[in-house]
Structure 1
Amino acid sequence: MIALFISLTTWQIILIINYALVIVAAGTLLLKNSNPTKTLTYLIVLMVLPLVGLIVYYLFGQEYRKQKLFRRKHILNQSTIKKYNEELKLDDELLSEIEEDFLEGKVKLIKLLNSCKDAPLTSCNTIEVIRNGENTVPRIVEDISKASQFIHLEYYILKDDETGLDIINALCERAENGIEVKLSYDYVGSSLSNATLDRMTASGVEYNPFMPVYFPKFTSKLNYRDHRKIAIIDGQIGYLGGVNLSNTYYNGRNPRYWRDTHVRIEGQAVGSLQMHFFMTWDFVTEEKFQIERFHFPKCEIDTQTAIQIAASGPDTDWANIMEAIFTAINLAEDYVYITTPYFIPNDEMLTALEVAAKSGVDVRIIVPEISDSKIAQYASASYFERVLEAGVKIFLYTKGFVHAKTMVVDGVFSTIGTSNMDYRSFNINFEINALVYNKDNAATMVSHFNEDLKECKQIDFKEWKNRGIRQKIKESAMRLFAPLL
């Protein structure tokens, strides 16, 4: 037996090991009882493509949400978090008032996320929609400079260019004055020099990269990344949205016009942002720490704006953001206005959009005419014909690149956050959105949407259907990579 093994070629040995691992992977796949089409696809890839199939399955076929790779129990079990969530529980009377005043029959949205412990509905809030990075970053810097207790940031992209240094300088100044400063940044998305890291260390800024990897430039799309953009100041002020911290997102420092949306929140919803930050911090630090009550200060806001913070990713039990968007579209009666830089929807979202449009709902989607990724642009275009035929209206943003991730429904519900309308946001990356149940905020979102429509051209279905065969082939080929983009 040993002699036979020695006589085999290296390639034969590799194949034997490969198919031994394939059998284990195939058994694991079958026991998951996942979608039959998805399961069959991975089984074929595993069997037909030696080594490559295993790599593809390892990178994309595993369900980390179910494996609980990203722990959160330590944070959710802390008494401070439990007490905070208890304080936010609304009685039936107040929930009825919110339904009557704001939701017009769409209370299912609240109930959907209220079933999740880490997405409580908050009622005492104010929210401000901020247009573009050049308006967002200075506001964050201003609030950081006034911090008296702590500053917590979690960002996908942080670079030490002019825009990033605006933030870093403010963080260092506050840390040097004894303020608690914690920073989590995605290792792949961000780029910080050793000099900048040394300076933050010397200033007292605590920082941790999220999931460091080797050769990050070559693996930016192959990993579970922290795509969130969160800033929390003193537990009173919170920011989230599409604006990252680099010159790319700041018009005047970027040669290409960049259209984005961010929100500034004051009130109870900031505590939800704080809770999700701590879950990430717990993961990146790999050491237990105690959350203090001052991280969740008493809310001083009297304004009634109902907000839920929905987070999703491998650290959540359910695809919360996708489920909320899906439910909102299904409940729509008049209109659904969506802005997204990447339109690569899964089957559930496609069905929801098509059914809404065919039911007479005015469904409009703004996407960039020219994407920052050719592959993503062709993949997105491959979905247009089907939704256009169902009655969905597609508008191409021509002024520059639209990076906002927003949706507004029937003048009562809106969502602003980090989640794109694509596979990665719904199933892979760490994302976070604000779900807002407020007519005034919805009116603001509609106003911004209509303003953006002035910089768009609408796709004509007949013309699009008759586009060239080469274009269609490119789109179909790139669509194969949709789950990876």
Structure 2
Amino acid sequence: MHFGMDFWSVFSMVFLVTAIPVAIMIILEKRSPYKTAAWVLALILLPVFGVFFYLFFGQEYRKQKLFSRKGLKSLTRYRRLSFRQLRQFEQSLQNIDPKVREKENIIRLLLKNSNALLTTGNKVKILNNADETFSSIFEAIETAVHHIHLEYYILSNDKTGNRLKNLLIKKSRQGVEVRIIIDDVGSWSLGNKFMSELRDNGIEIYSFMEVRFPRLTSRVNYRNHRKIVVVDGRTGFTGGINFADRYLEGAKGIGPWRDTHLRIEGDAVSCLQVVFAADWFFVIHENLTGQKYFPLLSEEKGVPMQISASGPDSDWASIDQAFFKAIAGAKSKIYIASPYLMPPPEIIFALKTAALGNVDVRILIPEKSDAAIPMWSSFSYIEELLEAGVRIFFYQAGFIHSKYLIVDDIFCSVGTTNLDFRSLETNFEVNAFIYDEEFTAGLKKYFLSDLQNSREIKLPEWKQRSWIFKLRESLAHIVSPML
């Protein structure tokens, strides 16, 4: 009895001193009620651990800004161009297919929330899976004469990573400038030897927001999930594929890795370069300027597109907002491929509203995942979507890691953003927003092909899942806003 009283006395004291003040801080931040409730519940159930978990992973930085972009010259120039496009919006759309006019609200939104310049002089190719992607990237790197810029969440010390390393060393010895940004968490296991070999050969490589004691802070939660390659300012790549063997060989227990990437040539590459230049400015405070890095825009006819970057350094959750706008404005169809399905409430609401309004909404996700808790959390959203008429498909031929959105046969977005809280609200991400009927038809063809390797989940079947299954997904659902 005495022991019990002592335990509860200590517990109450810890709760009063730690959990309650932090809970008040969270409430005063005025986040969405959904996220606020999740964090407060974590503090109540785990008062000590919950406090540390919040301090490391829970703080919001969008309003505080992780770093200043003051003095970043390339961004200033493209902001001026985007402001001019907004002022002269009708003139800006002259090289656009009239069919795209119905999506001009998305164009205007991205110009406002992320200064995403609309470019038209572009050629874009879908790279289906890692073999096509790596072949195309290595081919482009071989042709480099001035610079090669890479920004990646994962760079692995394996066959694929070493193939890249050896090629970059070769180009550096030829006098080509090589700059690399890696995420410090995603590329944690890369090793000093790998990086030293690059640096010894004149290659600049830096980690984005290093996570090292004693500098371990809540910023560990804000990771650079971007995948960018820019060669000579004229050829660029982005999408879902990192430099690691598993993208080629598959993952143990889940099978082949299915993914989607883009090769971009033309004016939009300068917009990818702006994103890289902003992050480079952050890691070493060096400006990249001049026509060698930013060729003059041609403004020729081609595939119209915008490059939007989103993260805790930006004023708005620009990609989240663009997804919501596209889904809410859909007239006939919405096709989504994503490895994780943990959308914020506004996206869930938009998807259900669209389906109830007779829009053909289909979502393709993996049945087997590379992460258990996100998988169970993804499952927790399925029933309410099925009830609204959203069609859910489980990919059967391995693990689908593609990240794209197709709306109404005229608009699509491909990039690094998963349909989950982390990508849409927390990580540094980048997406291409493309307004072209022919390109969208090509992406739709791959989507429908992947559906042939999938099984559709029907509501009566899903409701028959076991209580243990339901318990797992319910527990995972609680923490989904924190994942």
Matched, 1:183 2:186: no
Q: In structure 1, list runs of 5 or more residues that go unmatched.
A: 1-8
Compute the displacement of 1:320 (Å).
Answer: 0.8
Aligned match of 2:282 = 283
How has the CA–CA distance of structure 1 residues 383 and 316 changed in structure 2, closer, same or farther, with 3 Å as cutoff? same
Aligned match of 1:4 = none
Which moves more between the two structures, 369-378 or 424-433? 369-378
Equivalences for residues 148-187 of structure 1 within 5 A: 148-187=145-184
What secondary structure sits across from 1:105 in the alignment?
helix
Distance 1:221 1:468 in 2: 39
Matched, 1:258 2:257: yes
Compute the displacement of 1:96 (Å).
Answer: 4.1
Are the aligned partners of 2:120 and 2:300 in contact in 1 as well (CA < 8 Å)? Answer: no
Distance 1:393 1:22 in 2: 41
Q: Deviation per CA, 1:401-454: give whole Å up to 9, x if none.
A: 100001111011000001101111011111111000111111011111111111
Given the alignment, which residue of 118, 123, 128 partners 2:125?
A: 128
Matched, 1:103 2:97: no
Matched, 1:274 2:273: yes
Distance 2:448 2:110 in 1: 29
Are the aligned partners of 1:141 and 1:166 in contact in 2 as well (CA < 8 Å)? Answer: no
Distance 2:440 2:456 in 1: 23
Q: Deviation per CA, 1:435-479: give whole Å up to 9, x if none.
A: 001111110111111111110111111111122212111111122
Structure 2 length-normalised TM: 0.90
Q: In structure 2, give the amino acid aligned to 1:32.
A: E
Aligned match of 2:3 = none
Compute the displacement of 1:42 (Å).
Answer: 3.8
How has the CA–CA distance of structure 1 residues 156 and 41 changed in structure 2, closer, same or farther, with 3 Å as cutoff? closer
Compute the displacement of 1:46 (Å).
Answer: 4.2
How has the CA–CA distance of structure 1 residues 38 and 197 changed in structure 2, closer, same or farther, with 3 Å as cutoff? closer
Which moves more between the two structures, 164-173 or 361-370? 164-173
Matched, 1:316 2:314: yes
Aligned match of 2:442 = 444
Once superposed, what is the RMSD of the aligned Cα atoms?
2.8
Given the alignment, which residue of 55, 60, 65 partners 1:63?
A: 60
Compute the displacement of 1:132 (Å).
Answer: 0.4
Given the alignment, which residue of 227, 237, 249 partners 1:239?
A: 237
Are the aligned partners of 2:277 and 2:287 in contact in 1 as well (CA < 8 Å)? Answer: no
Q: In structure 2, give the amino acid aligned to 1:466.
A: Q
How has the CA–CA distance of structure 1 residues 221 and 26 changed in structure 2, closer, same or farther, with 3 Å as cutoff? closer
Given the alignment, which residue of 365, 370, 373 partners 1:372?
A: 370
Compute the displacement of 1:68 (Å).
Answer: 0.7
Given the alignment, which residue of 367, 389, 392 partners 1:391?
A: 389
Distance 2:219 2:30 in 1: 27
What secondary structure sits across from 1:305 in the alignment?
coil
Are the aligned partners of 2:57 and 2:218 in contact in 1 as well (CA < 8 Å)? Answer: no
Q: Deviation per CA, 1:356-401: give whole Å up to 9, x if none.
A: 0000000001111211122222111111111001000011110111
Q: In structure 2, list runs of 5 or more residues that go unmatched.
A: 1-5
Matched, 1:83 2:77: yes
Are the aligned partners of 1:354 and 1:392 in contact in 2 as well (CA < 8 Å)? Answer: yes
Aligned match of 2:324 = 326
What secondary structure sits across from 1:394 in the alignment?
strand
Aligned match of 1:400 = 398
How has the CA–CA distance of structure 1 residues 45 and 460 changed in structure 2, closer, same or farther, with 3 Å as cutoff? closer
Distance 1:480 1:70 in 2: 31
Aligned match of 1:32 = 29
Structure 1 length-normalised TM: 0.90
Distance 1:102 1:157 in 2: 38
What secondary structure sits across from 1:225 in the alignment?
coil
Distance 1:220 1:373 in 2: 22
Are the aligned partners of 2:96 and 2:120 in contact in 1 as well (CA < 8 Å)? Answer: no
What secondary structure sits across from 1:134 in the alignment?
helix
How has the CA–CA distance of structure 1 residues 367 and 13 changed in structure 2, closer, same or farther, with 3 Å as cutoff? closer
Equivalences for residues 327-342 of structure 1 within 5 A: 327-342=325-340
How has the CA–CA distance of structure 1 residues 107 and 168 changed in structure 2, closer, same or farther, with 3 Å as cutoff? same
Compute the displacement of 1:24 (Å).
Answer: 5.2
Aligned match of 1:411 = 409
Matched, 1:118 2:115: yes
Which moves more between the two structures, 236-245 or 31-40? 31-40
Aligned match of 1:143 = 140
What secondary structure sits across from 1:295 in the alignment?
coil
Compute the displacement of 1:58 (Å).
Answer: 1.3
Are the aligned partners of 1:126 and 1:303 in contact in 2 as well (CA < 8 Å)? Answer: no
What secondary structure sits across from 1:204 in the alignment?
coil
How has the CA–CA distance of structure 1 residues 47 and 465 changed in structure 2, closer, same or farther, with 3 Å as cutoff? closer
How has the CA–CA distance of structure 1 residues 302 and 373 changed in structure 2, closer, same or farther, with 3 Å as cutoff? same
Distance 1:466 1:407 in 2: 30
Which moves more between the two structures, 196-205 or 58-67? 58-67
What secondary structure sits across from 1:73 in the alignment?
coil
Compute the displacement of 1:28 (Å).
Answer: 3.6
Compute the displacement of 1:219 (Å).
Answer: 11
Distance 1:320 1:464 in 2: 34
Equivalences for residues 200-219 of structure 1 within 5 A: 200-214=198-212
Which moves more between the two structures, 225-234 or 474-483? 474-483
Distance 1:301 1:168 in 2: 35
